[in-house]
Structure 1
Amino acid sequence: MTPPFTLGFEQVRDELMLMQPSGCYWLTANRQEDARCLARQCIAAQHTVTLIASGLAPDTLLSPAPVGGPAAIPLFSLPETRRALHAFTDDLARVLSEKPRLVLFFAPASLWEKLSQDELRLWTKKIQHFLNAKPITLLIISFGSVINALRTRLQSLYRHVDGLAQLDWQQDCWDYRINWWANSGGMLADRALRLDLNMDHFRLLEAEQSTPLTLNDEALYLAEKTVLEGAPPLSSQWTLFDSNAELHNRAQQASAATVIFSLQHNDQIPALAEQIHSLRRTRGSGLKIVVREMRASLRYSDERLLLACGVNSIVPINATMSRFLTMLEGIQGQSYNRHVPGDLSALMKSMQPLQARGYLPLADFCQSVTLLVNNTLLPENGKGLLVALRPVPELKPEQALTLCKPRRYGDLVTLLDDRLYLFLSSCRFSDLNTALKFIFHLPHDEIFTNRLVWHEDLQILSEVRQLTSKVPTAWRDAPAPVAAPSASAVTAPQARRQPHNITLGQDTTT
């Protein structure tokens, strides 16, 4: 009987990581470096393994050599083409023997974009038929910026995929979520583990005690006084404070109360994020933290930062007092279950990765946009907008550039040919006109004749690659060498013109 293969996680129960022979298992990760650690740890735990890679050389996964694993590993490369995917099982049949082994297929998530949903279903079904009655297990590890779309597509393939799990980075730990997993004892589903990385090996992280010791203050409301719009405390359970700082100091002794901060200006975001992060990390998941926007100051990226720091609810500026109180009732009894990273500075840097604004040269512009779009901590297809603007014929592109005044960090502009290229970080498509109104001093509809907008990650990366190809370089822009004239092109010199004497101012009447 062929023994099962293992993922190699430390301190994790066997039924959550053993892979049965003749089975197909699929792991997904946001970041390539996490997927690489998964692959190397799995290889180190095997007696025999075959490695197939697409999009990169397979030997790069083995450098440096993993500690443990088989002495010899067959390596294969698969082209990133639709045709190669369709021929995958035929290629396996030609190169693999019937000996028991684990086949590890390491490929970016973008590879599966080449197949439609029906084609992907037929592909996994074909894999299943190939593995039947063979002592071979196939483990697929995928990664990349479009991983969420792939995960959604894989949810309906449980008939042909024996195991599906995902690994998500949480700044200081990793969430490992098992959708379903087949083992010798049956099928497991809906499991969640928290992992740590030690010496390039994932291991189980002991759960922290986040349940509050007492819940006797769950009926209390601690609030900054302006959130009630000048009204007195609504009951004896309400306590008002003159500032967010005083509220934060009092909330340090709360366990399950409702704490309501006010937001008057965007400059308060860093301090407010620090206060909320501190409360959530020290007081646990029972505390209910609310932020009420008193003036229009919140941006999309700011909302995501506050939510990641531990906010239960954000009340927008257009919410009436009755709506505000209804939202407070709605969060009673809730427990905050999301993980809050311990390093606040790293969290803020990941949520607001671009610390530049305004004009950048084309090369710097392309590099900055590429780094931001490839940030897997930001939402897929929600990192911003790339906008190309063509000025009216009466206006030169350089003149239009002088009218462009980006104010937010992450809003970048560059110039190429007859167009301005804008990247608006964390800007929704529905807010584009509002953003352009604040960026340009004159009505943008009168400055530009047309515009093109890209809002999906793959669209933005594709357009940036085309822009990168137009970045001037010394080699590309060097003048063409002037060829020496041939002998046949040399003509006889023309006769030199002789000068004539001219006397100026001579009197001809004498």
Structure 2
Amino acid sequence: MSHVSLAIRGLPDEQLSMRQGGLYWVSVDRSRDLETLALQGLMALPEQHRASLIWSGLYPEQLMGSLQERSDCAQWRLFEVPEGVIRLALQSLPGELKRARTAPGSLLLLMLPASSWQTFDAERLQHWCSAMRRWLGERRCTLLVLCHGQAPQLHAELIRLNEHLSGLAQLYRRDGGIHYQSHFWRNDLGVCGAQLYELDLLASGFGLTRDEQARPTPTRTDDQRVYLAQRSVLESTSALSRQWKVFERRIDLLQQASQARAASVLVAVESDQQVEVLARDLYALRERCGSALKIIVREMEPCLRYRDERLLMSCGANIIVPFGIPLSRFFSLVDSVQGQVWNRRRSGADLEALLKRLRAPTMRGLLSPREFLSALDQIYGGASGEIEHQLLRLQPPPSLTIEQCLYQVSLRRFGDIATVVEGVFYVFLFACRSDGLESALGNICRLPWRSLFSDCRPLVELAELPRAAFLEATHLPSEFHLAPERAEATTRARTDLNAYTPRRTSLAITDYCE
């Protein structure tokens, strides 16, 4: 077995070890973190193990200084590639390594900025990886590519090359933490799917945080490569291996899945009417089988809203595959959750409360300030972060009255409510993501919303509302009305706001926050 490893303290060998003939790729956002990771791997090599270090774009000063202190590093070969010839050097790398008489079994460490790969399109990148894999296999060498700098397009292409890469991972910093995302990793110990780890940076290098070390490791079971699928999920596919068991009815699938522990369970959803029943089934499955089971829900018709997705994820799904994803891509997503552990487990007493939190209130439209505040107290009082809502403070411009603005607003979804306090329009949109806010405002306003309101400020919490003013205003003036339905509203809009040109909107869209 190969002794080449990333050597991140606390990670299992299945996610670290690299086999001979393998091509591994780790993207690192910061160049200093890249040096630290490279040094960890090199210092963990057995004595007398041969290695070649190739870099360009940034001299690894920290790395070189540390290597000079190691007694056996004299046999390590160091190459610096001028920035102007990186592309040429990459294309001719197998030949250059052959001419350099690279010893069989060596570790090759290639450290380059992400910009070095900008000229490689998908086809050229695949060709390069394929050529390197052939050379590595012939020489029984291991290549670790450490790429620093953000390059989302490059990484998207690499994920598709899982047949040419032995491993793909990312090391990045976000929200004050260090994250190591392993997308897939193959070595002599087996194959690992997607897994996310939280790391600390110590004097000795990267290692798992204490919380990560305390997390129980899932027990390997005999069914971890078994696939239990509902027939409709697979469309017309028939050429499946013996690892696959296909069921016509969901009830039969779930009955078989209840005996599994780490298998992949592929379930179809075709209507929003099925969501709550399916959520209960998934919840029961998790309670019985544990966190190692992989549950994949595939949307067969465009029926899932944002809150539906969050409900299914909270009740047990590892991943929701949206409608329209090709079958080949669907199978890739199924592979991506292999080895994943579901970590949202809840106690049985919480299920009904969860369903209630994610179910839209049976109210909509314009309310009195006191009713509006009372409704928000109920919604936010029971919230646990499964879904995101939007609470907005909208200020009309001096040229328009609040009555004119209200008459151009239509709230059609249950849970979407509004009120007026001291000449300011307050709107609450239930189960609406922040990245969908622009679209939501465009759908609830019959005219361009920026023409109706001079200022739009999202409120993060209820404490930002003027509570005293809300409690004092028990009623709204009788002239305050939201837009009536369809044709009547269009006629009135032209009369009240003839300075503006109405735009066409699709009133059939009722779930505008999705």
TM-score, normalisation: structure 1:
0.46
TM-score, normalisation: structure 2:
0.45
Q: Radius of gyration: which is bigger?
A: 1
Q: Which has the higher helix share?
A: 2
